Structure 1
Amino acid sequence: MAAVIASLAGAFAAVSLFSFVVATQVSDLAQNTPVYQINILTKVRALNDRTTHAITHSGKSLPGRVHPLHKG
């Protein structure tokens, strides 16, 4: 009987500790969400700029390319 009680107490302690760790992590994540949002937006904008530049640059190097405003 004592072994059952000890096992249940150990299991309860383990679940409690795990729940505490998860709650702490979720709380930290919620507090840092604005920082993560700024970080992600900065990276997406940089990727967008890099992609746009690469497409523009590759378009300029195509043979036979005619500028849309060029009359000739």
Structure 2
Amino acid sequence: MIGNWKGYYKFDNEKIQEAMGFEKTNFTIVIESFENGNFLGKVNDDVATGGMKETGNVVGKVKKDQVRFRNLCL
């Protein structure tokens, strides 16, 4: 689990998605620690796909086939 991961997010609300001007926003997460299904790391959005410039902290959990996380902006 430790390492670099790429993914994307998009909004469920189509009006918000259209207002953003992008179908989806790409991101890269660097997982720095992983223990008992919990992980910590850093996340960077791709600015070219509508993301934020700042680096955020990410906290998450892996449970069976699901990965849940939240971005904590610095």
Q: TM-score, normalised by structure 2?
A: 0.17
Structure with more of its chain in helix, by fraction: 1
Of Structure 1 and Structure 2, the greater strand share is in 2
Q: Compare CA radii of gyration and give the structure with the larger one.
A: 1
TM-score where L is the length of structure 1: 0.17
The higher relative CO (CA closer than 8 Å, separation ≥ 6) is in: 2
